Structure 1
Amino acid sequence: VPGRMSRKNHNHYKGAEVSCCVKYFLFGFNILFWVIRILTTLVHLFSPLHQGVLSNLSAITDLGGFDPVWLFIVVGGVMFILGFAGCIGALRENTTLLKFFSVFLGLIFFLELTAGILAFVFKDWIKDQLNFFINNNVKAYRDDIDLQNLIDFAQEYWSCCGAHGPDDWNLNMYFNCTELNPSRERCGVPFSCCVKDPAEDVINTQCGYDVRLQGELDRQKYILTKGCVGQFEKWLQDNLIIVAGIFVGIALLQIFGICLAQNLVSDVKAVKANW
Structure 2
Amino acid sequence: MCCSGFLKIMMFVFNGGIFLAGAAILGLGVWVKVDSGSLLGFLDGVEDAPDALDQLVHVSYLLIGVGSVLLVMGFLGCCGAMRESRCMLLTFFSIVLIIFIIEVAGAIVLLVFQGLADQLLQGLEDEVRKGLQARYGDDNSMTPLWNSTMEEFHCCGYKNYSDFENSPYNTRYGTFPPTCCNENDNATAVCDLAHAERSDVPGCFHVLLKFIEDNVLIIAAVALGIAALEIAAMVVSMVLYKQIGSKA
TM-score, with structure 1 as normaliser: 0.65
Task: Please give the alpha-carbon distance, in whole angstroms, between the structure 1 residues aligned to 2:40 and 2:2.
Answer: 58
| Structure 1 match to 2:22 | 34
> C-alpha offsets along residues 18-71 of structure 1, whole Å, 9 cap, x if unaligned?
612321112211321232233223323335646x974x643335479x898765
Cα gap change, 1:130 to 1:58, in 2 (>3 Å)? same
Give the unaligned 5+ runs of structure 2: 82-88
| Structure 2 match to 1:119 | 114
Q: Residue 192 of structure 1 is aligned with which of 179, 184, 191?
A: 179
Task: Please give the alpha-carbon distance, in whole angstroms, between the structure 1 residues aligned to 2:60 and 2:35.
Answer: 13
Q: Which amino acid aligns with 1:33?
A: A
Is the Cα–Cα contact under 8 Å of residues 21 and 70 in structure 2 kept in the other structure? Answer: no
Q: Which amino acid aligns with 2:70?
A: L
Is the Cα–Cα contact under 8 Å of residues 30 and 87 in structure 1 kept in the other structure? Answer: no
Task: Please give the alpha-carbon distance, in whole angstroms, between the structure 2 residues aligned to 1:47 and 1:247.
Answer: 19
Cα gap change, 1:198 to 1:231, in 2 (>3 Å)? same
Question: Could you tell me how far 1:149 is from its partner in structure 2?
Answer: 1.2
Question: Could you tell me how far 1:92 is from its partner in structure 2?
Answer: 1.2
* Structure ranking higher in helix proportion: 2
| Structure 1 match to 2:99 | 104
Q: Residue 76 of structure 1 is aligned with which of 64, 67, 70?
A: 64
Is the Cα–Cα contact under 8 Å of residues 27 and 86 in structure 1 kept in the other structure? Answer: yes
Is the Cα–Cα contact under 8 Å of residues 16 and 270 in structure 1 kept in the other structure? Answer: no
Question: Could you tell me how far 1:100 is from its partner in structure 2?
Answer: 0.7
Cα gap change, 1:134 to 1:79, in 2 (>3 Å)? farther
| Structure 1 match to 2:200 | 224
Task: Please give the alpha-carbon distance, in whole angstroms, between the structure 2 residues aligned to 1:231 and 1:67.
Answer: 19
| Structure 2 match to 1:167 | 162
Q: Which amino acid aligns with 1:59?
A: G
Cα gap change, 1:228 to 1:57, in 2 (>3 Å)? closer
Is the Cα–Cα contact under 8 Å of residues 157 and 203 in structure 2 kept in the other structure? Answer: yes
Is the Cα–Cα contact under 8 Å of residues 47 and 127 in structure 2 kept in the other structure? Answer: yes
Task: Please give the alpha-carbon distance, in whole angstroms, between the structure 1 residues aligned to 2:204 and 2:36.
Answer: 25
Q: Residue 235 of structure 2 is aligned with which of 247, 260, 263?
A: 263
Could you say what secondary structure the match of 1:174 adopts? helix
Is the Cα–Cα contact under 8 Å of residues 135 and 171 in structure 1 kept in the other structure? Answer: no
Is the Cα–Cα contact under 8 Å of residues 26 and 64 in structure 2 kept in the other structure? Answer: yes
Is the Cα–Cα contact under 8 Å of residues 18 and 230 in structure 2 kept in the other structure? Answer: no
Give the unaligned 5+ runs of structure 1: 1-12, 176-180
Task: Please give the alpha-carbon distance, in whole angstroms, between the structure 1 residues aligned to 2:206 and 2:59.
Answer: 28
Cα gap change, 1:47 to 1:219, in 2 (>3 Å)? closer
TM-score, with structure 2 as normaliser: 0.71
| Structure 2 match to 1:208 | 191
Cα gap change, 1:62 to 1:270, in 2 (>3 Å)? same
Task: Please give the alpha-carbon distance, in whole angstroms, between the structure 2 residues aligned to 1:272 and 1:251.
Answer: 31
Could you say what secondary structure the match of 2:157 adopts? coil
Q: Which has the larger radius of gyration?
A: 1
Q: CA RMSD in A?
A: 3.9
